[in-house]
Amino acid sequence: MSKALDGVKILDFTHVQSGPTCTQLLAWFGADVIKVERPGVGDATRKQLVDVEGADSLYFTMLNHNKRSITLNTKNEKGKEVLERLVKTCDVLVENFAPGALDRMGFSWERIQEINPRMIMASVKGFGPGPYEDCKVYENVAQCAGGSASTTGFLDGPPVVTGAQIGDSGTGLHLALGIMTALFHRERTGKGQKVLAPMQDGVLNLCRVKLRDQQRLKAGPLKEYSQFGEGIPFGEATPRAGNDSGGGQPGRILKCKGWETDPNAYTYFITQAAVWEKICDVIGEPEWKTKAGYATPPERLDKLNEIFERIEQWTMTKSKFEVMEICNPLDIPVGPILSMKEIAEDEGLRKTGTVVEVDHPERGPYLTVGSPIKFSGMDVEVKRSPLLGEHTAEILKDVLGYSEEEVEELKSTGVTDVVKKIAAE
């Protein structure tokens, strides 16, 4: 089956997480992603959080599927020549170096345009143009600067970062969309362009409901926030809202049977207005359907603590899956708090290819997350990540037209390096 991005060549100059998530998506969808790495070293994540001595880490393998790896010292003159040929040949260059690194290497946007006017150059940086544009940025810094941390956590506690990597993987997703848009535009104009996805901007985009609430504060207290019902005054900025639901339908995380010993025996429960009557019946409070102060959503806003405490008395008599089984047929929106262990063992996610087992010559089988986007006209097959420089010779010869002798010379002068042989797979 052909892939949507067959024939698109990506010069993948990314490392760590944000950039690699972007190019992994493009690789899954059929692009030929050529990952350029420093000889002998490679992407720093290969050797970070190592769990199997001598093997590429899960950090690396889970972010670099379906790619090819070439080692190249791009600070060496001969290496720059190879890189220039790659720029000429490829459709997109993706990078997430610290600000200015590509310019220092001699590959400014102006130079890239000279080499290949059709090139799309796509970058992740921590911040967009402005006072912080030169800063190096990692995930949690972006979560803090993008408004997520100040609005996550409980009112009486410090700001909290979330486990979802919205700064890195979230920005990678944004960049992938930017690249696809620029490729589509190039179809019409024949010209490439520069695409920038700053991590602060990506996080803020995902936090837009919190900027919505910032502006709503001018009109009075945010009545759907628990603190309204608790009589706690609002300050000048959108507060942390614990586990309150982000929209107009109040929700909370509630204990389920076994919560005393299982840290994930909880459910998310939403008191959607449309199913209020069914909720009242399920929890054994049928009179709340018509009782003054309980019957309509606005009346209930100052009683959310009491209401959720009552619902929790009911959820505590059931497992999180029983809550789901009872509420789902009634259209009451609930969701179990799933642990990573439960997700790893979830048969449904395996069947859909969202959790995939991949084999690797150095580390053996491991689990990864497959494409979260499904297509009716294309299968997304997850192939193991490349070893460092595994495809150096084939890329130099088949993509760039180097001869065997020239490849040997590049190796002997350290521009690229000799690649270890892979035991039979």
125 DSSP β-pair partners? 198
Q: Is 218 helix (H, G, I), strand (E, B) or coil?
A: helix
Query: For ligand CAO, which is the closer residue by CB, 19 or 250?
Result: 19
Name residue 402's amino acid: Y
**Number of residues that this document lists for the chain:** 425
Q: Of 30, 126, 229, 389, which lies in the binding site for ligand CAO, with binding defined by CB under 6 A?
A: 126
Segment lying near ligand CAO (by CB under 6 A), choices 25-33, 100-108, 298-306, 337-345? 100-108
Query: For ligand CAO, which is the closer residue by CB, 199 or 282?
Result: 199
Query: For ligand CAO, which is the closer residue by CB, 202 or 370?
Result: 202
Segment lying near ligand CAO (by CB under 6 A), choices 34-42, 231-239, 275-283, 371-379? 34-42
Which is catalytic among the residues 12, 43, 56, 168?
A: 168
DSSP 40: T
* Residues 178-237 contacting ligand CAO, CB under 6 A: none
Burial class (CB in 10 A: 0-12, 13-18, 19+), 114: exposed
Segment lying near ligand CAO (by CB under 6 A), choices 14-22, 290-298, 366-374, 381-389? 14-22
DSSP 369-415: E--SS--SS------PPPPTTTTHHHIIIIIT---HHHHHHHHHTTS
Query: For ligand CAO, which is the closer residue by CB, 201 or 312?
Result: 201
Q: Of 11, 16, 197, 356, which lies in the binding site for ligand CAO, with binding defined by CB under 6 A?
A: 16
Q: Of 138, 234, 268, 294, which lies in the binding site for ligand CAO, with binding defined by CB under 6 A?
A: 138
Q: Of 36, 82, 90, 222, which lies in the binding site for ligand CAO, with binding defined by CB under 6 A?
A: 36
The pair of structure tokens assigned to 82 is 């190879």
Query: For ligand CAO, which is the closer residue by CB, 35 or 210?
Result: 35
Q: Of 4, 50, 105, 324, which lies in the binding site for ligand CAO, with binding defined by CB under 6 A?
A: 105
List the Cα angle 91/95/98 in 5-degree steps: 155
- 125 contacts ligand CAO (rule: CB under 6 A): yes
* Known catalytic membership, residue 168: yes
Q: Of 7, 117, 128, 136, which lies in the binding site for ligand CAO, with binding defined by CB under 6 A?
A: 136
Q: Which helix (H) or strand (E) holds 184?
A: helix 169-189
Number of chain residues interacting with ligand CAO (CB under 6 A): 26
Q: Is 414 left (phi over 0), alpha (psi -120 to 50) or beta?
A: left
Query: For ligand CAO, which is the closer residue by CB, 19 or 370?
Result: 19
Segment lying near ligand CAO (by CB under 6 A), choices 16-24, 232-240, 321-329, 335-343? 16-24
CB of 81 to ligand CAO, least distance (A): 13
- 164 contacts ligand CAO (rule: CB under 6 A): no
List the Cα angle 166/167/168 in 5-degree steps: 95
Nearest-Å Rg of the Cα atoms of the chain is 26
CB 337 within 8 A of CB 266: yes
Q: Of 75, 212, 291, 420, which lies in the binding site for ligand CAO, with binding defined by CB under 6 A?
A: 75
Q: Is 190 left (phi over 0), alpha (psi -120 to 50) or beta?
A: left
The pair of structure tokens assigned to 111 is 């130079």
- 8 contacts ligand CAO (rule: CB under 6 A): no
CA dihedral 58, 160, 323, 311 (to 10 degrees): 170
Q: Of 137, 182, 280, 332, which lies in the binding site for ligand CAO, with binding defined by CB under 6 A?
A: 137
Rounded-to-integer distance, Cα 171 and Cα 143, Å:
11
Q: Is 93 helix (H, G, I), strand (E, B) or coil?
A: strand
Q: Of 64, 66, 73, 226, which lies in the binding site for ligand CAO, with binding defined by CB under 6 A?
A: 73
CB of 241 to ligand CAO, least distance (A): 27
Rounded-to-integer distance, Cα 72 and Cα 126, Å:
25
The pair of structure tokens assigned to 360 is 């690797």
The pair of structure tokens assigned to 234 is 């609002």
Contact residues for ligand CAO, defined by CB under 6 A: 16-19, 36-38, 44, 72-75, 96-98, 101, 104-105, 124-126, 136-139, 168
Residues catalogued as catalytic: 168
